[in-house]
Amino acid sequence: MEHVDIDALDNHPRVADVQKHLTDPLALADMALNYYELEPGESFSGGLHTHMNQEEVFYVVEGTATFDTKEGSHEVGANEVIRFAPGEYQEGKNESDGRVRALAFGAPQEAGETRTALPCSECGADYHTAEVTADGVTLTCPDCGNVVEM
């Protein structure tokens, strides 16, 4: 058994005010788990994206999150859950005036290739692959190799 106090964990903000990684502290083997607190205007990820090998589930603990997909927007309120299949594009954000608190579950733990819905300005490819590091996000066109750093 593993037990973790979320408030005691280090904060790893990238695009959200609060992002706490629970995967390692809980010694999770088959899934990824993150805790988020979003101020108005913040996003879980920073852009429309998909994981090619991982389904994602978001449980909203408090507030209302808006998830944009290629098909439209979906509001998810407190005590509601939304699931995205591998390959399904989404971006979750806080478009409300209040704070959003949520848990994000990913399975399997390794997301595989992550793609953004950003077309390539050089060759017109439909997407870029994304690599997230401590320094930021690097997007690479799979067709021509064009690199965009964010």
Domain residue ranges of the chain, discontinuous segments joined by +: 6-111, 118-150
Query: Distance between CA atoms of 58 and 92, rounded to whole angstroms?
Result: 9
Q: Torsion angle of alpha carbons 13, 54, 115, 35, nearest 10°?
A: -10
Residue 135 has pLDDT above 80, yes or no: no
- Whether residue 80 contacts residue 60, with contact meaning beta carbons closer than 8 Å, is answered with yes
* Confidence at 15, pLDDT banded by 50, 70, 90: confident
pLDDT given for residue 140 in this prediction: 95
Residue 5 has pLDDT above 80, yes or no: yes
Q: Which two tokens stand for residue 99?
A: 């704070």
User: Other CB atoms closer than 10 Å to residue 92's CB: what's the count?
Assistant: 25
> What backbone torsions phi and psi does residue 102 show, to the nearest 5 degrees?
-155, 160
pLDDT given for residue 10 in this prediction: 95
Say which CATH topology domain 6-111 has: Jelly Rolls (2.60.120)
Share above pLDDT 70 across residues of the chain, in percent, rounded to a whole number: 100
What is the average pLDDT score of the chain? 95
pLDDT given for residue 142 in this prediction: 95
Residue 120 has pLDDT above 90, yes or no: yes
DSSP 122: T
Residue 133 has pLDDT above 80, yes or no: no
pLDDT given for residue 42 in this prediction: 97
